[in-house]
Amino acid sequence: MMSDKLIIRKLTEEDVEPLSAIESASFSMPWSAEDFAALLTRDYCVYYVAEVDGEVAGCCGMTNICNEGNIDNVVVAEKFRGQGIATALLERLLEEGDSLGVTAYTLEVRVSNASAIHVYEKLGFVSEGIRPNFYEKPTEDANIMWKR
Ligand SMILES: CC(C)(COP(=O)(O)OP(=O)(O)OC[C@H]1O[C@@H](n2cnc3c(N)ncnc32)[C@H](O)[C@@H]1OP(=O)(O)O)[C@@H](O)C(=O)NCCC(=O)NCCS
């Protein structure tokens, strides 16, 4: 079920604080407001924000290096999960990446993160390997996924 009030748009300075709050509630090693602000100064970083009824609901984005898109953040606030928002964000990101000439996308995800892995597989990502003990707090292997 997708909200009809869902807007997907580029990251702006006003999103930095609400996104860092969503991060803190979602990750054991969250990005700070400064981390999000830094993205705005890097033209090779492409970030999208989801807004529902004017409220920041989540974001996703990538670093584009030599036409390889490294998806380094995907997060949706808990109360907005399960409504197709991460899927919509990633679809928009991949569309933009394709138009910029990105030829392959990659990401890491905790092996236990079934809902995220489900979203990535639905969008065509395939697991190409495991990086042992990649994550901290708690220590966990990373599933390395690619969409080529
Ligand atoms: C992972 C995350 C971004 C997904 O956001 P979302 O907006 O809820 O995602 P969507 O609603 O687009 O899709 C969720 C899908 O996972 C499925 N799902 C939910 N729980 C699941 C589970 N335990 N196992 C498998 N699939 C599951 C849903 O059915 C849905 O699939 P469908 O569209 O085919 O029905 C969100 O849960 C989140 O922010 N988690 C914390 C941060 C995080 O882990 N980020 C990813 C880091 S790599």
**pLDDT tens-place string over residues 5-50:** 999 999 999 999 999 999 999 999 999 999 999 999 999 999 999 9
The answer to whether the CB of 78 falls within 8 A of the CB of 42 is no
Q: Which helix (H) or strand (E) holds 20?
A: helix 16-26
Largest CA distance in the chain: 41
CA 117 to centroid of ligand 1, rounded, Å: 8
- Domains identified in the chain, total number: 1
CATH number for the domain including 113? 3.40.630.30
pLDDT in tens, 89-140: 999 999 999 999 999 999 999 999 999 999 999 999 999 999 999 999 999 9
Distance, CA of 110 to CA of 133 (rounded, Å):
10
Residue 12 lies in a domain: yes
Residue 118's domain comprises 6-147
In a domain, 1, yes or no: no
* Closest C-alpha residue for ligand 1 atom 9: 86
Q: Is residue 126 a part of any domain in this protein?
A: yes
CA 85/CA 81 separation, integer angstroms: 7
Encode pLDDT of 49-71 as tens digits: 999 999 999 999 999 999 999 99
**Ligand 1 centroid from CA 75, angstroms:** 9
